[in-house]
Amino acid sequence: MKNTFRTPALLSLGSFALLFAASTPAQDPARVTSVDQIINRNHRQKVSSEPSSDANKTLSPHEQTLMADATESCSYKFTSGSGATYMNYCVTVNGNFANFQSPAGVEMLDQHHAWEGYGVCDLGTNVEYWDYGYASSGNWKAPVKVKETPTEIEIERSTSDGLYLLTQTITELPGASPEARIVMVLKNTSGTEKTAILSRFAGFLPDKGASGSNLNENYDGSEDSAWGYIPANATYTTPSTPYGLMLNSIGAPAPASTFAFSLGFAYGSQYGPDPCLPTTQDTQGTHLFPGMVINDYGAGAYAYGLILNKNQTSTVTLRYLPF
């Protein structure tokens, strides 16, 4: 078994808070008004309602991948361009990226393994649903392939409790600046109003990380993006060339009435974020310090806060863009 563990880095970032859309408090007493309140409220609920939750934190990601519904295997492959415009990526049966190579010869995700995927948190019940390739929450139904063309794959996946339906459409957009476009549509199928967090996790590791002993790279995030990269004038030894990969949010969720907040962030862990505590801990329960990572291991994610009436959908659009 290949060793893919990476040492977390300690980071710092100023406090971040964005307001939820205005709503009638009587509609949903669980409504919150900022990211900080989401984190604090759910942390208290977890501590009080899950006293034995630490029992599962000893599982390694490779032990967790024994779950039948988690996979890093390639199912739908897409290739375009050549040289500087080359783009090659593969999507798993569950809708995770199994790799991303662009330009030619520069792999951005798959160094030993490709860890990438999606997460949903129900803020009313504090139930998490996630699939990050290396492991999953185990509460998803089997994926359904809706459509496949030479440039696009559409996959639906319902939560096992029937409360949410996630539809992902991943489209190859070749050209001078190639990109993989990701449209995620989250539908509230519960029959009651829901407030949720929808996240995309990216285990960035650009170029030749598997060929040298120093896998350290740089990571950062902004209001619209998260990214990992090798700087042009790295002050540390690396076998990699100065390339990077960005997870970029395109516009706000639609319709506008469903939009509560959004943010991109990097952090010093190899694992995906806890969907209900995205800026506080990863799926292993390790505390996160979102912010810039320099010369260390890390990852990135983009999260949306969504308010969904019963049977309502919210559509978010992201893209993977090499730079």
Among residues 301, 290, 101, 72, the alpha carbon closest in space to that of 206 is found at 101
pLDDT digits (tens, 9 = 90+) for 87-132: 999 999 999 999 999 999 999 999 878 999 999 999 999 999 999 9
**Entry pTM:** 0.80
- pLDDT for residue 134 is more than 80: yes
pLDDT digits (tens, 9 = 90+) for 175-232: 999 999 999 999 999 999 999 999 999 999 888 755 555 567 899 999 999 999 988 8
Provide the pLDDT confidence category of residue 30 given band limits of 50, 70 and 90. very low
**Domains along the chain with CATH numbers:** 25-322 (2.70.98)
